[in-house]
Structure 1
Amino acid sequence: MTLFLIPQWTLIAFLLSTYADGAAISHDDPAFGYKFIAVFEQKPDYKMQRQIVLSGGYVPSSTSCPAGSLLRPAKGLSQSESEWISKRKPKADAALASWLKGINAEFTTTNLPLVGLAISGGGYRSALEGAGVIQAFDSRDSQLETSGLYQGLGYIAGLSGGALLLSSIVGNNYPTMSSLRDNLWKEAFNSSILMHGGRNASSVIPAITADILFKGAAGFQPTLTDPYGRLLAYQYINSGDGGVSTTLSSSITRKSNLAQFNAPYPIITALAIQLGGCRPTPNATQYEFTPHEFGSWDKNVNAFTPTKYLGTNLSNGLPREQGKCIQNYDNLSYIAGTSSSIFSLTLCPSSTSDTGTRDETLTGIIQPLLNNGHSHPNITRDVYGAYPNPFQNYAPATSISADKEIYLVDGGSGLQNNPIWPFIQPASRVQVLVVNDNSADTPDNYPNGTEILATYLRARELGLSRMPLIPAGSR
């Protein structure tokens, strides 16, 4: 099934060319929360030369900062996550015990493990197959032997296509997959705003255009990941505005199922890439986004910062402007877009193209756009998810302490296509991990264990011992 057609992707080219040449734009639509008249002129730092009115939920904004450093060393889970899991565990245990007893009444259900679910990359293939797995695990949505395991999960992680699915789950307050299918995905996929005449395209495209222009006007230079994430959000978040103001920190934690510890804790992962690179190296730094923190366990970063304050200009953990922080940079659509961003991969020579996260639909959309007058002979930041570096001048972050920005791409593009990494760290409390691998390792786009093996080999190289033996086999 073809989900997207090319023409509407000219929006991305339009946004970039608009910023290059300067533009005037006006819009007044209460349904999208915008009322503005603004004039933009190009400046080196992409700041707005003249601003009349600036309003919109996608725009990062200033807020006050808590006292002290906004960084912590990666020694154990954060207090916030640890406390959340402690409150989730009894509910997960009760559900897991009920499921186990239903399978076999003789199961011992004392001292139960903390269970996680990892959903791989693989574009829409992985998102939909992952949804099928969750439906089979969810006692609200199926009557199978596996039904009820979902209620016993403590964590759920996704990258790339798995992150798109996870954004739909958490952005809609953990509904059933049947509900998402019937009330959102059917119409959104069959009448995409990216298709000619797609649903609400005439009102959605101007709104997304405004989102991106205003983010740049506020001093945060956009990239291709911004419109990409916003466009996808209209398929995955069931609201009239595509979840324009939905953040991973504040918005998600206020939704009832997460706030009341009734659902698994979400983690989205992405990979670091050097500016100018087309794909991450196999040992690329792995970053994770949770409702509470952003950062990496890897030794060259080994630190975390509150997700809520992503975008804040920090030096050695302190705001450069005393008491001033940034909020709303952690827009859920931008984070999900970052984890599934394959723009840079389309610029790689064919001999180094990706396999595990390969998705012909997305590649078919992106490649013609970049090859039709919008390619980057010298790869620029446009093709990454860009984040102001919260670890700047933080000495332990040896590889990035001098960098002003962090550049992130598809979480599975470094040959580890399953978000296993957070769960094999010494600090993790997860004891059982269910991995839903939808990688495209074979010519027929089936997984064969290559990606999981790559994670095992990398873990062994770094002395991480929590991951069990993965035999090489014949693959």
Structure 2
Amino acid sequence: MRLDQLSAAITLICYAVLPCYAAGHGRRAVDAYAPQRATCPTSSIVRPASSLATGEAQYITARKVIADPALASWLKKVNDTFDTSLLPTLGLAGSSGGYRALLNEAGILQAMDARDSNSSVHGLYQAFIYHAALSGGGWLATSLAAWNWPTISYLQKTVYEPNLQNGLLLPGGFYAPLAYAQTLADVTAQAAAGYPVTAGDIYGRLLGYNLFPGPDGGVALTMSGLTSSANFTGHKVPYPIITSTGTNASSSGNCTEPPDATQYEYTPHEFGSWDKGVNSFVQMSYLGSNLTNGMVHGKCASGFDNLGFVTASTSNVFGFLCDPLYSSAGDFASLADALQSAILEVAGPASSGLFNEIPNSFLEYTHASAVSSAKLLTFGDGDLSLQNDPIKNTFLQAEAQGLTKMPTIPPTSTFVAEALGTQARFFGCKQPNTITIVWLPLVSYSSSAGSDISTFDIEVSEANTDSIIRNGNLIATQNNDLQWPTCLACAISMKTAKSLPAACDACFAKHFVS
């Protein structure tokens, strides 16, 4: 289907296919997307950001019991002289970049997964406590979660190879018209239930058909529902955090994000931000509830935290289209136009915005001064506020918010002058009160990998999917560098070990950034 025909096709489906399809087959799926009313808990569902959520803290404690032995085993496998008496908490962070990020990071994770690889770093994935991600990296994290954290090999054959070649435009391939019809029925039901609907909702449903299980694109999956997944309840996987950036967007067309835009996070337990202007969290299962100063009006919302919606919220880069430099973003620009046209058909001009919108859980809430007057919060990709690699602006924003655990990141000019993007780099090694960041830049190790595809590419061939994942394997092993496992182990251990092997000196000389 040609892109310039997409909007007309969606409109045609809305009028000609939707009534019979929704009436005959779509009732369960429609109800699954539209939030329902639920009885609220007796305790408050909003809290100030003074500590981890109880559920998250309990998960991390239980996860560390499993992850620490895995880390100790991996370190001893690399070099049996590593001190494992005290072990750090490891987190995996996935960057943005659309399908490029999804597939390269899938390859990195695959190489580190003891279930799926015999690489020099296999077994390290089992030691991670957290998996934080955004945008294309968020697509990897949510697709893993949606399928109950299988191997990458499984997702590659079952999901990525067949679905990404169709891309966002032909969900379900031949069955795309039915998927469009159901998607429009879903968002129409949400609008009828009185909740905001934007192009971000349709975008999320299309991503669901691309990444999630079931013939309906995983429409019933929610972020809070991940707490009942078998691998989650068994604490067998890293705790997922999906991040998104608060925008100044509105349905009137303003779609800018300042460099100091608020950073929000979605976890299976809560939604909110540690930033000074929000400094609050709401229970994830009740996201979308009508709240004033932390008090619920009537019943709570249930099911607003649709997993596809969350996946769209972290990767919604449609705001780029307001910049003339991106007006020719090809297929992606046409996709945005088609989504807006579809929303106009089903929800009217009052809901024609490009970004994802959520009823503000922090309306008139004392701790959330920056957003306390907003009835809706709008969200988009962090790239729109320059939260991209190199990660200098992220460091500056963390510093401005008083978040002191991130190590110093040099300016972009240093990255260029010293060619820091050519191999793995360590940040924070000499800053004892910060975390250590091991940065794995995207490097195309094979001319046939095709790994540096555009963020705006909305389909990837099966062959390219496989080659990009293989390139991710090579990123994880630094192109099969025999010294890399030792160097990685040195970076992991340096702030907790009583002493380090002598080989670490050469590793720090090669990879450390002062």
- Work out whether the TM-score is over 0.5: yes
Query: Is 1:395 the equivalent of 2:366?
Result: yes
1:307 aligned residue (259, 262, 284): 284
Distance in 2 (alpha carbons) for counterparts of 1:8 and 1:69 = 48
Contact conserved, 1:308 with 1:330, CA < 8 A, in 2?
yes
Write the letter of the residue equivalent to 2:242. I
Distance in 1 (alpha carbons) for counterparts of 2:343 and 2:28 = 29
Query: Is 1:239 the equivalent of 2:233?
Result: no
1:82-161 aligned within 5 A:
82-161=57-136
Query: Is 1:461 the equivalent of 2:400?
Result: yes
Write the letter of the residue equivalent to 2:254. G
Write the letter of the residue equivalent to 1:455. T
Contact conserved, 2:105 with 2:140, CA < 8 A, in 1?
yes
Cα drift, residue 208 of structure 1: 1.1
Cα drift, residue 81 of structure 1: 0.6
Distance in 2 (alpha carbons) for counterparts of 1:115 and 1:151 = 10
Q: Would the alpha carbon gap of residues 372 and 202 (structure 1) be closer, same or farther in structure 2, given more than 3 Å must change? A: closer
Equivalent position SS for 1:386: strand
Query: Is 1:298 the equivalent of 2:275?
Result: yes
2:19 aligned residue (20, 25, 29): 25
Query: Is 1:206 the equivalent of 2:145?
Result: no
Equivalent position SS for 1:305: strand
Q: Would the alpha carbon gap of residues 269 and 197 (structure 1) be closer, same or farther in structure 2, given more than 3 Å must change? A: closer
Distance in 1 (alpha carbons) for counterparts of 2:84 and 2:352 = 51
Using the size of structure 2 for normalisation, the TM-score is 0.73
Cα drift, residue 331 of structure 1: 0.2
Name 1:263's counterpart in structure 2.
237
Distance in 2 (alpha carbons) for counterparts of 1:249 and 1:293 = 8
Q: Deviations over 1:51-78 (max 9, x none)?
A: xxxx521110011001132211100101
Q: Would the alpha carbon gap of residues 142 and 338 (structure 1) be closer, same or farther in structure 2, given more than 3 Å must change? A: same
Distance in 1 (alpha carbons) for counterparts of 2:324 and 2:8 = 26
1:286 aligned residue (256, 260, 263): 263
Write the letter of the residue equivalent to 1:400. V
Name 1:10's counterpart in structure 2.
7
Q: Would the alpha carbon gap of residues 63 and 177 (structure 1) be closer, same or farther in structure 2, given more than 3 Å must change? A: same
Q: Which has the higher helix share?
A: 2
Distance in 1 (alpha carbons) for counterparts of 2:410 and 2:291 = 44
Write the letter of the residue equivalent to 1:286. Q
Contact conserved, 1:191 with 1:199, CA < 8 A, in 2?
no
Cα drift, residue 31 of structure 1: 6.5
1:395-434 aligned within 5 A:
395-417=366-388
Q: Would the alpha carbon gap of residues 28 and 458 (structure 1) be closer, same or farther in structure 2, given more than 3 Å must change? A: closer
Distance in 1 (alpha carbons) for counterparts of 2:208 and 2:131 = 19
Name 1:366's counterpart in structure 2.
335
Distance in 1 (alpha carbons) for counterparts of 2:137 and 2:2 = 22
Write the letter of the residue equivalent to 1:219. G
Distance in 2 (alpha carbons) for counterparts of 1:307 and 1:362 = 34
Contact conserved, 2:163 with 2:171, CA < 8 A, in 1?
no
Write the letter of the residue equivalent to 2:218. G
Of 197-206 and 223-232, more deviation after overlay is shown by 197-206
Of 102-111 and 168-177, more deviation after overlay is shown by 102-111
1:336 aligned residue (289, 311, 318): 311
Name 1:470's counterpart in structure 2.
409
Distance in 1 (alpha carbons) for counterparts of 2:323 and 2:105 = 28
Identify unmatched segments of 5+ residues in structure 2.
417-514
Distance in 2 (alpha carbons) for counterparts of 1:71 and 1:171 = 26
Distance in 1 (alpha carbons) for counterparts of 2:341 and 2:265 = 34
Contact conserved, 1:193 with 1:199, CA < 8 A, in 2?
no
Distance in 2 (alpha carbons) for counterparts of 1:388 and 1:229 = 17
Of 263-272 and 457-466, more deviation after overlay is shown by 457-466
Write the letter of the residue equivalent to 2:353. D
Equivalent position SS for 1:135: helix
Query: Is 1:80 the equivalent of 2:74?
Result: no
RMSD in angstroms over aligned alpha carbons? Answer: 3.0
Q: Would the alpha carbon gap of residues 5 and 466 (structure 1) be closer, same or farther in structure 2, given more than 3 Å must change? A: farther
Distance in 2 (alpha carbons) for counterparts of 1:361 and 1:154 = 39
Cα drift, residue 195 of structure 1: 3.6
Contact conserved, 2:272 with 2:280, CA < 8 A, in 1?
yes
Distance in 1 (alpha carbons) for counterparts of 2:370 and 2:60 = 31
Q: Would the alpha carbon gap of residues 90 and 373 (structure 1) be closer, same or farther in structure 2, given more than 3 Å must change? A: closer
Q: Would the alpha carbon gap of residues 80 and 8 (structure 1) be closer, same or farther in structure 2, given more than 3 Å must change? A: farther
Contact conserved, 1:122 with 1:160, CA < 8 A, in 2?
yes
Cα drift, residue 213 of structure 1: 0.8
Larger C-alpha radius of gyration, 1 or 2? 2
Identify unmatched segments of 5+ residues in structure 1.
36-54, 418-438, 440-448
Of 256-265 and 406-415, more deviation after overlay is shown by 406-415
Write the letter of the residue equivalent to 2:107. G
Cα drift, residue 290 of structure 1: 0.3
Contact conserved, 1:278 with 1:379, CA < 8 A, in 2?
no
Distance in 2 (alpha carbons) for counterparts of 1:204 and 1:373 = 14
Write the letter of the residue equivalent to 1:456. F
Contact conserved, 1:12 with 1:227, CA < 8 A, in 2?
no
Distance in 1 (alpha carbons) for counterparts of 2:59 and 2:231 = 12
Counting aligned pairs with the same residue, the percent is 38
Q: Would the alpha carbon gap of residues 468 and 221 (structure 1) be closer, same or farther in structure 2, given more than 3 Å must change? A: closer
Write the letter of the residue equivalent to 2:232. L
Distance in 2 (alpha carbons) for counterparts of 1:154 and 1:72 = 24
Write the letter of the residue equivalent to 1:14. T
Cα drift, residue 239 of structure 1: 1.6
Name 1:174's counterpart in structure 2.
149
Cα drift, residue 374 of structure 1: 9.8
Of 272-281 and 168-177, more deviation after overlay is shown by 272-281
Distance in 2 (alpha carbons) for counterparts of 1:386 and 1:127 = 24
Distance in 2 (alpha carbons) for counterparts of 1:280 and 1:310 = 23
Write the letter of the residue equivalent to 2:396. L
Cα drift, residue 13 of structure 1: 6.7
Cα drift, residue 469 of structure 1: 2.0
Using the size of structure 1 for normalisation, the TM-score is 0.79
Distance in 2 (alpha carbons) for counterparts of 1:345 and 1:402 = 26
Q: How many residue pairs align between the two structures?
A: 406
Write the letter of the residue equivalent to 2:281. F
